Structure 1
Amino acid sequence: MATILIVDDTPENLAVLNGLLSPLHRVRAVNSGQRALQAAASRPRPDLILLDVMMPEMDGYEVIRRLRADVATADIPVIFVTALDSSDDEEHGLSLGAVDYITKPIRPAIVIARVRTHLELKAARDLLRDHNRSLGEEIMRRMADNLQIQDVSIRALARLAEIRDPETGNHLRRTQGYVHALAMELRSHPRFAAFLTPHHIEVLVKSAPLHDIGKVGIKDEILLKPGRLTPEEWVIMKTHSRLGYLAIEQAEQDAERPIEFLSMSKEIAHYHHEKWDGSGYPEGLAGDAIPISARLMALADVFDALIAQRVYKGAFTLEKALSIIREGRGTHFDPDVVDAFFARQDEFVAIAARHADADAFPGISPET
């Protein structure tokens, strides 16, 4: 049964309406505006309110204003029941949010019909609201599932490169953390703020693990060579950035619609070996011509390579790695990115320690 709240300061009117509606509905009756507000906010919440206008202390107009101002009662439909029968009075009541206007003396058939109509409308609105809420929750669940699948797919693809080069270990997790740290430090910098929005930072961090996906196309005798590469081998090794770019571009073309993280992944894979002074590869880009995503990845990648032990080199001490990064300011790296790195130096060390491979970072520990 629906719950109806009747508000009228005249006992006779309350008795008439109560006798008319109680056989069909659960009826609550109060005789003042203040009690009406209390009853409307209590359980069971009314499905409909029949409200007198002319009451002492707080009239019906003030009652409906307060009902509409409270989020808990704002959606309860209100029908004015009053002796005021001018069109101006009716217009005023409706403008305040009443759904209907019944004049006294009441006619039972009219009251019952209006009440039934507005209860049916409210039930329909409630059903639609609940359906929309359920639909929204289902959409959120599916989006979360899709994002999880996307994240797992990204990591699976990135692992292809890692499997080919097992000594990189947790390199993906570390560089992802480094890129996030740099982005958070630079997000309010005038040169970076327009790009490093919260959404772009999220996409950037998600894209970072694919930076070396092109290494799957490099032969083992070059990729895993335990020593310095010959000039000819180095030329081949450098093609991994182009190979990564082409692989992700093909994935983009196969997609039915643009996928933002693929676009940024392609950018990072292609350009993260470019240098600020133009001496990098594959295009020899310089300065701001290098995408911001690639500039952040460049420093993250180099720092991790310096402090990690690889088949072709030992791990540098933290002090040596910091010195190399500092020397690369304005030549290898964007100067502002280097400044951001040193502002977050402790965070970089903590990330390296958190995702350290066994015996990889002799100069770094959680206490460093």
Structure 2
Amino acid sequence: MVDDEPVNLKLLEKMLSTDGYANIHTLTDSREVQATYEREHFDLILLDINMPHLNGFEVMEGLKRVESDGYLPVLVLTAQSDRETRLRALEAGARDFLCKPLDRAEVLNRIRNILEVRLLHNDARDQNRILEEKVQARTRELYDTQLEVIRRLGRAAEYRDNETGLHIIRMSKFSQMMGEKTGMSERDTEMLLNASPMHDIGKIGIPDSILLKPGKLDAEEWKTMQTHTSIGAEILSGHSSPLLIMAREIALTHHEKWDGSGYPEGRSGTDIPLVGRIVAVADVFDALTSERPYKKAWPVEEAVSYIDEQAGKHFDPDLVAVFHEVLNDILAIKEQYAEPGITLARKTS
């Protein structure tokens, strides 16, 4: 209860305690209301309007800033019964008002009514919170299921290409690191981490005779191999999920080149989505420094030199600079997720 007149507070306190109310707190200084409410979170505030320092309207403005759900449990006390004051009190957030001099029966009935509404409001708020938590949990469960399917499909594409699942782990983590350095949001870099493993999903649609051919592909075979980008985009299209939309962009554009000489559409520069440009660098670096049945791993120094040489040609030059900024972290990931029995190749002097 807040009133600058101690006599009024004593009268109200006696009235409420006689009726069985407990935990009654009184204040004569309106400047203390906000801090006290933040600390105690009372179920009801009986608030006088005309007070020194801060009037009742100003107190309610302060309470609005600290009441998280916007519900002010305020019963205004005023000697002014004019319509303008009553409307102003209600517009300021008060639930009800009492005109002085106070009538005991009216005071107790209005307090009882407001407390009942307060309890109903709290119940509704709690139910909404529980419902929201359930929806969030279910949404997360669906997202995790979708994510697991994506990861397994990504691994399937890698195994079909005689590669282990470690390649997609490494290049996806490289991509996430580079995305963070470019200023992408945490949400987008997490999506990049989870979408990039799908970059070669389209290889599922490439015949084994081409995909597993040990020698060099002829012109017709190479043309067929290039279709894995559009096949991947087709597999991932037709869904509103932001994760799948990003995965589709990556599958379609990770073989495009900065100078326009890539495939499948010959895009150039920033016409290539940022995620496609990032994955291009991450994928090539990991491929160069990884041993395969048909090639030995390049030493790190040679692979880095190649990335540098291709700045402005194959790769976005700004992303090549970003690649250098995170190179030490990339090499740490490369070591952490190395193929069994394989050590990172270094150039010998």
Identity %: 37
Alignment map for 1:46-57 (pairs within 5 Å): 46-52=42-48
Q: Name the structure 2 match of 1:311.
A: 293
Count of equivalent residues:
345
Alignment map for 1:1-368 (pairs within 5 Å): 5=1, 9-11=5-7, 14-15=10-11, 18-19=14-15, 22-26=18-22, 28=24, 30=26, 32-33=28-29, 37=33, 40=37, 43=40, 45-52=41-48, 67-68=63-64, 70-71=66-67, 75-86=71-82, 90=86, 93-94=89-90, 96-187=92-183, 196=184, 198-249=186-237, 252=238, 255=239, 258-363=240-345
Q: TM-score, normalised by structure 2?
A: 0.83
Q: Name the structure 2 match of 1:190.
A: none
Residues 46 and 75 in structure 2, CA contact (< 8 A), matched pair in contact too: yes
Residues 41 and 73 in structure 1, CA contact (< 8 A), matched pair in contact too: no
Kindly state the Cα deviation for residue 68 of structure 1 after the two structures are TM-superposed. 4.9
| Structure 2 gaps, min length 5 | none
Q: Aligned partners of 1:73, 1:161: CA distance in 2, in Å?
A: 49
Paired letter, 1:205: L
The 1:114–1:273 alpha-carbon spacing in structure 2 relative to 1, beyond 3 Å, is same
Q: Aligned partners of 1:199, 1:17: CA distance in 2, in Å?
A: 53
Q: TM-score, normalised by structure 1?
A: 0.79
Kindly state the Cα deviation for residue 308 of structure 1 after the two structures are TM-superposed. 0.2
Paired letter, 1:269: A
| Structure 1 gaps, min length 5 | 188-195
CA RMSD of aligned residues (A): 3.3
- Greater mean deviation of Cα atoms: 65-74 or 301-310: 65-74
Q: Aligned partners of 1:54, 1:245: CA distance in 2, in Å?
A: 69
Residues 48 and 77 in structure 1, CA contact (< 8 A), matched pair in contact too: yes
Residues 33 and 60 in structure 1, CA contact (< 8 A), matched pair in contact too: no
Q: Aligned partners of 1:291, 1:12: CA distance in 2, in Å?
A: 69
Residues 18 and 29 in structure 1, CA contact (< 8 A), matched pair in contact too: no
Kindly state the Cα deviation for residue 81 of structure 1 after the two structures are TM-superposed. 3.3
Q: Aligned partners of 1:344, 1:361: CA distance in 2, in Å?
A: 20
The 1:51–1:279 alpha-carbon spacing in structure 2 relative to 1, beyond 3 Å, is closer
CA-to-partner distance for each residue in 1:173-201, whole Å, 9 max, x for gaps? 111112222222333xxxxxxxx555444
**Structure 1 counterpart SS, 2:77:** strand
Q: Aligned partners of 1:237, 1:77: CA distance in 2, in Å?
A: 69
Paired letter, 2:267: L
Kindly state the Cα deviation for residue 294 of structure 1 after the two structures are TM-superposed. 2.1
Residues 30 and 55 in structure 2, CA contact (< 8 A), matched pair in contact too: no
